[in-house]
Amino acid sequence: MNHADNFPNHVAIIMDGNGRWAKKRNRQRTDGHAKGAAVAIDIVLCAKKVNIKYLTLFAFSAENWNRPKREIALILSLVENHLKNKATELKENGIRFKTIGNLGDLPKSTVDLIDTVSDMTSGCTNMVFTLAISYGGRQEIRAAAEKYKNSGNPIGFDSYIQSAFLPDPDLLIRTGGEKRISNFMLYGLAYTELYFLDKYWPDFSCEDLKAAIKEYKLRKRRFGDLI
Ligand code: IPE
Ligand code: IPE
Ligand code: MG
């Protein structure tokens, strides 16, 4: 399928509002994360269907380590279970799995699974699905600066940014009603179109993704130029 030029090549999503979704239903925050994880998988498959080439989902931030241990463990176990259960389906759909973030902070079981699914899908070319996990935009820039400094290379700072294998996001979606970036892809978001919706992440649907893309197509991007 060929898209007009104004179709977003890279869509990035801040999946926010799991806890409030659960609270509204008098349920545990963890129930919100469970539903949210299932929705994330649906959206990956939906994104591939509508022919998005790069999808990046913010699952767990560097600052989310400050949350209660129990909640962190639950989120990481959801990531592991879904990766385990959906690895074959990702591969069958030609979806390449990647991550950004500080994997060094994650439990070995999570890292092992990430490595397995990344390797398993490394030949897939329909879509790149990147999970941002233990990820912080400032941390990413600081790490790049450190590597750049040690490299002695006078050019090419951008290539030390961990997410540099991705094109800059064209469209950023944030669910949950907050209108902020919360330390997501700070370097790449310079000229990204922003789309905020009040819906909590567990209620986000394929239709919502399509609606965001429809609005994106109406935006006029100028990149500082006079076009
Ligand atoms: C997003 O939902 C998931 C993560 C940040 C891990 P939250 O857990 O932030 O839910 P709210 O924002 O408290 O409702
Ligand atoms: C951003 O949501 C991180 C993820 C969605 C993974 P947060 O819930 O952590 O952001 P703040 O604290 O509301 O800014
Ligand atoms: Mg939140």
User: DSSP secondary-structure letter at 169?
Assistant: P
Would the pTM count as exceeding 0.75? yes
Given a contact cutoff of 8 angstroms between Cβ atoms, the answer to whether 189 and 214 are in contact is no
Q: Which atom of ligand 2 is nearest to the CA of 59?
A: 6
Report the nearest atom of ligand 2 relative to the CA of 135: 6
CA 224 to ligand 2 centroid distance, Å: 29
At 36-77, the pLDDT tens digits run 999 999 999 999 999 999 999 999 999 999 999 999 999 999
Q: Mention every residue, 6+ apart, whose C-beta is less than 8 A from residue 214.
A: none
The top-level CATH class assigned to 10-218 is alpha beta
Single out the catalytic residue among 5, 9, 31, 64.
Answer: 64
Instruction: Tell me if 17 CB under 6 Å of ligand 1.
Output: yes
d(CA 74, CA 115): 20
pLDDT of 203-224, one tens digit each? Answer: 999 999 999 999 999 999 999 9
- Per residue in 22-42, pLDDT (tens digit) is 999 999 999 999 999 999 999
Domains in the chain: boundaries: 10-218
Q: What is the structure's pLDDT at 227? A: 76
DSSP string, 90-103: HHHTTEEEEEES-G
